[in-house]
Amino acid sequence: MNRNILLKDLSVKDYKETWDYQSELLQKIVDVKIDNRRNNHAKKTENYFLFVEHPHVYTLGKSGDLSNLLLNEQQLKEKEAAFYKINRGGDITYHGPGQIVGYPILDLENFFTDIHKYLRLLEETIILTIAEYGLKGERSNGETGVWLDVGTPFARKICAMGIRSSRWVTMHGFALNANTNLGYFDNIIPCGIRGKAVTSMEVELGEKVDVIEVKEKILKHFKTLFEVEEYIVS
């Protein structure tokens, strides 16, 4: 078992390029697993954690409804936003500047083989992170991600999540609204859920947050929850 994680901060990177890169890393891990099983090898598989910030983009999950995108092609161009149908779970979401996007590409056989547990620990990572800023993150029954004021008329989502896995290898991940322009969410029905608002750390705290600091806290809690041995910056 390999519980080290190769950590890469991609800074600002196009969504499609990042998606392709994730797919390459996932396939690299899967190929090792296939070879191990076919040839009775015991080569360790690698794990990755990517941080990235995307230019304006809307992505629709494989089970999503296109009608939840409220813009036509011309309006997307006017807003300088891209759109992709992708292979993660979930419906539609937005990525853009000021958002902390994390893509753990893990061989869960190095950790535990339980997708439900994986998602709950991802949520817990964010819940513990924002708690350090005095924000009480919660889960909303049947709605993956992290929310504030669940069960009230003021429920609002601060972190969206959607993943894909193949042979217990994960890709995609979470998008935490740190200093995000929430106006872009007005152009979609976020995650296909009507009547629920979206928020950010900046809105809740009344000031911009230090993104580098937030990332450090995310990694700290992720390391504890997933029992990571070591991060190797690459």
| Rounded Cα–Cα distance for residues 29 and 58 (Å) | 28
CB contact at 8 A, 126 and 175: no
- For the record, the structure tokens of 96 come out as 């853009």
How far is C-alpha 190 from the chain's CA centre?
14
> Which H or E run includes 30?
helix 15-39
Local structure of residue 158 (DSSP, 8 states): E
| Rounded Cα–Cα distance for residues 27 and 24 (Å) | 5
User: Is 107 in a helix, a strand, or coil?
Assistant: strand
Q: Catalytic annotation on 191? A: yes
| Rounded Cα–Cα distance for residues 77 and 83 (Å) | 10
| Rounded Cα–Cα distance for residues 104 and 34 (Å) | 21
Residue found under tokens 């076919």: 38
Radius of gyration of the chain (CA): 18
Among the options 7, 108, 191, 198, which is catalytic?
191
The closest alpha carbon to 172, from 64, 76, 61, 75, belongs to 61
Q: Which residues are catalytic?
A: 191
